[in-house]
Structure 1
Amino acid sequence: MDIAHRRIGQPASEYKTREYNWAGNLGYRQERLERPTGVDALREIVAAASSVRALGSRHSFNDIADTTGTLVSLEHLPADISVDGAGRTVSVGAATRYGELAAELQRQGFALGNLASLPHISVAGAVATATHGSGNGNGNLATAVAAIEFVTASGDLRTARRGEDPDFEGMVVNLGALGIMTRLTLDVEPSFPVRQDAYTDLPWARVLDRFEEVTGAAYSVSLFTDWAGDTVSQAWLKSRTSADDGAPAAEAFFGGTRAEEPLHPVPGMSPVNCTQQLGVPGPWSDRLAHFRLAFTPSSGAELQSEYLVGSEHALAAIDAVRSLAPKLAPLLQISEIRTMAADRLWLSGNYGRSGIGLHFTWKPLQAEVEAFLPELESSLAPFAARPHWGKLFTGQAGPLERLYPRLEDFRALAGAWDPQGKFRNGFLERTVFAPAASPAS
């Protein structure tokens, strides 16, 4: 299957548009690209369109946002960040980047429970695809959603609220299939300081033997590896702390050695664009993400895949990937292992189960990565691995139906919200709405 429409290196003249995703591996195919400056203008655009999709911060690596009809960028809609301190929520424009939201919340003395590795992604895009940070007790970013405002297929404005709409848990991780999100209300809490400490060269044997202790050693833990050799190359620990906690971290961590200078997850890359390390306490807004908003994390010359596995299969899934190291190594920049808490969002990778995310940052070798993904996915299939909706994977609706118990319910929900299929595209038809194949006789 051709996962993307434009492989890196293909001439732009082959496509109708010069609009690409952040990584440059996909060219959007829209007939029209609209950039409304207000919700009323957006409503008119959606009502008049026969096919329409929303374009977020373009950090998806597949065609989830693509359409041959009308593509709508929300980048010019106002952020209009409004904090309800008494209710412990914040209302924010859908296209607002998490880094911008975090800075404003910190200014007002509030915090989100977690952030993804990149603060550059939009709130709506992250929520719609169940994007996550890390932490045994932390749900993905979508679990913070208390309300969503949508522009529906008819151009109407509709708000869904947690505790009021019986299908709310199906509306949050929505893949853009219900409408275009214009505002979201998120849970917040009082601001808290965080320190970030890093360790290098943790023996795999120690990590696997005490895996829950390793991942539970801080509020958020990330393990970076190239899968080769006997050690995990880096462990990043983000700990909730006090503002005056500047004491040195322990010299060793499960056999790893405390880093004495800042690190970048990818070997050989400068850490200048990474958030503050070396145990220096600071606001959550400047520590929970891996990278600083003011910097582009890299040139964008990369591809990404990720698969989420239940906690009970974590060690077996890690072993399965380690066995593929000789084939992985030529394609890989770095991998990251993170943990997430269970939730009840229908299309979340953590629906009904806590687990780990096995993240792969590939070199920009689209054809080679596409050729390898079936083998990787086959090795993870025994563990019911769910792919991240915004990254490269080869899954079809039939197999995915076995991974998401509420997928049929989501189809019905999307059919009720969008009976004419205005928000559907090739990605959704391939992954969500295509009928499952009949069993072989």
Structure 2
Amino acid sequence: MKKRTFLKLSSALMATPIISPLAQLVSDEKLKNWAGNYTYSTSRLYAAKSIEQVPELVKKYDKLKVLGTRHCFNGIADSTHNFISLREMDKVLAMDTEARTVTVDASMRYGQLAPYLDSKGYALHNLASLPHISVAGACATATHGSGVKNGNLATAVSAMEIVLANGEVRTLSRAKDGDTFRAAVVNLGALGVVTKMTLDVQPTFTMRQDVYVDLPLDQMSGNFDAIMSGGYSVSLFTDWQKKRVNEVWIKSRAKKDDQAKAKPDFFGATLATKNLHPIAEISAENCTEQMGVPGPWYERLPHFRMGFTPSSGKELQSEYFVPYKNAVEAILAVERLRDHISPHLLISELRTIDADDLWMSMAYKQPSLAIHFTWKQDWASVSKVLPMIEKELEPFGARPHWGKLFTLSAAKLQSRYEKLDDFKKLVREFDPKGKFRNAFLDSTIYG
């Protein structure tokens, strides 16, 4: 199989069957995630067109899950019974300039929100590599960008509204609800239907992006801190071959009229002479602008341009989080598996995430390195490689991304999340009859 773009983008919107409230979808079409690797267990999908309709739908069904932008690669959002879609609820609800917050419908996508904020003179602290994901879905799974001082996207949440299993509408805030709030932000879809989210914002800023190629792997041992602190957000792309990192993407704050040229060398890596895709042989047409050209924060923080959404590109994704203090050891441990990994790999990305206090976050109480794998869509082969990677990362207590593929047992996860038992208690309080439980939660959280 030839290497192809792991984030092939098209301007066509993803086809999502949506129906009127309380009407059953009558279709033989199977619902799939955007990559096409996961087929959902039911096509019964119901749409809420307003916040007022959500409690009605929640009370109507004994079993229910929210189906969002479908970017997860596993069954975390799956249901064998019923789905609810909030897709039509994607508006900015309030902008509080004094508190520096914005309140949005939970299905608002970052690609919609970011230009609006910028037009008002504000910005978010970070963005993921893809802009098409929804605010609620990203926060529920602790999705992240990069930067040694940047928390994941969920750390921007200051308040949220959630519909519980009995139809009660509950508002939680960082200021008033303490542990309950810290448990609910990264909720894995287990607590209810999130309908509103309030996010912290800051004054808008300009960024530039410079890319370097062929960073020698041996530079990691003595210079890892300096490499990953080389910009506001730094990503390393590697295929684990030739003892080098293929590309270093450095995103830095800049002035709008910044004409400074980047240094020609970065710890032995060479400045690129043209825009690059993370897979060098793929066209960079859909990637965000590089070559040090200044631009808005939301056109530099993601790797891919805001105006595009992913088509159903054939790929699989896995990601593991290790303590930042063990980052170099973990990288070298994975590199030892290069000949097992590379035949099935499209590309890997290394990013840093600051510590947070959100109970089910992969970066809970530990600054982290995220080791990401974008695989060819060959689960039979990938499923054999993942246990090898997990074994190598065992000494570091690696935590997998909740929305991606892994084979770690519930017992292993239990040992790596000190608040997991407390989280399960809150699940019982919010959802005593298991309305929002599914096979994924049963196998990974409850074991």
**TM-score normalized by structure 2?**
0.92
Aligned with residue 228 of structure 2, among 191, 215, 231: 215
- Tell me the residue number matched to 1:149: 161
1:134 paired to 2:138: no
- The offset of 1:82, in angstroms, is 2.3
- Tell me the residue number matched to 1:255: 268
- The offset of 1:42, in angstroms, is 1.8
Whole-angstrom CA distance in 1 between matches of 2:181 and 2:332: 37
Aligned with residue 103 of structure 1, among 108, 111, 115: 115
- The offset of 1:311, in angstroms, is 1.1
Greater alpha carbon shift after TM alignment, 227-236 vs 24-33: 24-33
- The offset of 1:376, in angstroms, is 1.2
- Tell me the residue number matched to 1:268: 281
In 2 relative to 1, CA 81–300 (structure 1 residues): closer, same or farther, beyond 3 Å?
farther
1:47 paired to 2:59: yes
Secondary structure (helix, strand or coil) at the match of 1:115 reads coil
1:237-386 residue pairs with structure 2 within 5 A?
Answer: 237-297=250-310, 299-386=312-399
Q: Provide Cα deviations, 1:325-363, integer angstroms capped at 9, x if missing partner.
A: 001011000000000111111010110110100000001
The root-mean-square deviation of aligned C-alpha atoms, in Å, is 1.2
Amino acid at match of 1:83: M
- The offset of 1:81, in angstroms, is 4.2
- Tell me the residue number matched to 2:127: 115
Whole-angstrom CA distance in 1 between matches of 2:229 and 2:44: 48
In 2 relative to 1, CA 201–121 (structure 1 residues): closer, same or farther, beyond 3 Å?
same
Aligned with residue 171 of structure 2, among 137, 146, 159: 159
- Are the counterparts in 2 of residues 169 and 346 from structure 1 also a CA contact under 8 Å? yes
- The offset of 1:428, in angstroms, is 0.5
- Are the counterparts in 2 of residues 273 and 296 from structure 1 also a CA contact under 8 Å? no
Whole-angstrom CA distance in 2 between matches of 1:193 and 1:82: 24
Secondary structure (helix, strand or coil) at the match of 2:197 reads strand
- The offset of 1:268, in angstroms, is 1.8
- Tell me the residue number matched to 1:10: none
Greater alpha carbon shift after TM alignment, 105-114 vs 260-269: 260-269
Q: Provide Cα deviations, 1:119-150, integer angstroms capped at 9, x if missing partner.
A: 01110000000000000000000001000111
- The offset of 1:298, in angstroms, is 6.0
Runs of at least 5 residues in structure 1 that lack an aligned partner in the other structure: 1-14, 435-441
- The offset of 1:114, in angstroms, is 0.3
1:236 paired to 2:245: no
- Tell me the residue number matched to 2:197: 184
- The offset of 1:432, in angstroms, is 0.8
- The offset of 1:396, in angstroms, is 2.4
Secondary structure (helix, strand or coil) at the match of 1:272 reads coil
- Tell me the residue number matched to 2:211: 198
Aligned with residue 426 of structure 2, among 397, 407, 413: 413
Whole-angstrom CA distance in 2 between matches of 1:80 and 1:163: 22
- Are the counterparts in 2 of residues 303 and 364 from structure 1 also a CA contact under 8 Å? yes
Whole-angstrom CA distance in 2 between matches of 1:297 and 1:153: 32
Amino acid at match of 2:444: T
Alignment identity in percent? 51
1:71 paired to 2:83: yes
Greater alpha carbon shift after TM alignment, 39-48 vs 173-182: 39-48
Amino acid at match of 2:200: D
Runs of at least 5 residues in structure 2 that lack an aligned partner in the other structure: 1-26
- The offset of 1:83, in angstroms, is 1.5
Whole-angstrom CA distance in 2 between matches of 1:272 and 1:97: 22
- The offset of 1:78, in angstroms, is 3.7
- The offset of 1:368, in angstroms, is 1.1
Secondary structure (helix, strand or coil) at the match of 1:430 reads helix
Secondary structure (helix, strand or coil) at the match of 1:209 reads helix
1:174 paired to 2:187: yes
Whole-angstrom CA distance in 2 between matches of 1:173 and 1:51: 21
- Tell me the residue number matched to 2:103: 91
Count of residue pairs the alignment pairs up: 420
1:57 paired to 2:69: yes
Whole-angstrom CA distance in 2 between matches of 1:99 and 1:122: 9
- Are the counterparts in 2 of residues 95 and 123 from structure 1 also a CA contact under 8 Å? yes
Greater alpha carbon shift after TM alignment, 124-133 vs 394-403: 394-403
Secondary structure (helix, strand or coil) at the match of 2:302 reads coil
Q: Provide Cα deviations, 1:36-67, integer angstroms capped at 9, x if missing partner.
A: 11122221111111111111111000000000
- Are the counterparts in 2 of residues 193 and 242 from structure 1 also a CA contact under 8 Å? yes
1:425-436 residue pairs with structure 2 within 5 A?
Answer: 425-434=438-447
Aligned with residue 240 of structure 2, among 209, 227, 234: 227
Secondary structure (helix, strand or coil) at the match of 1:273 reads coil
Q: Provide Cα deviations, 1:71-91, integer angstroms capped at 9, x if missing partner.
A: 111111242342111110000
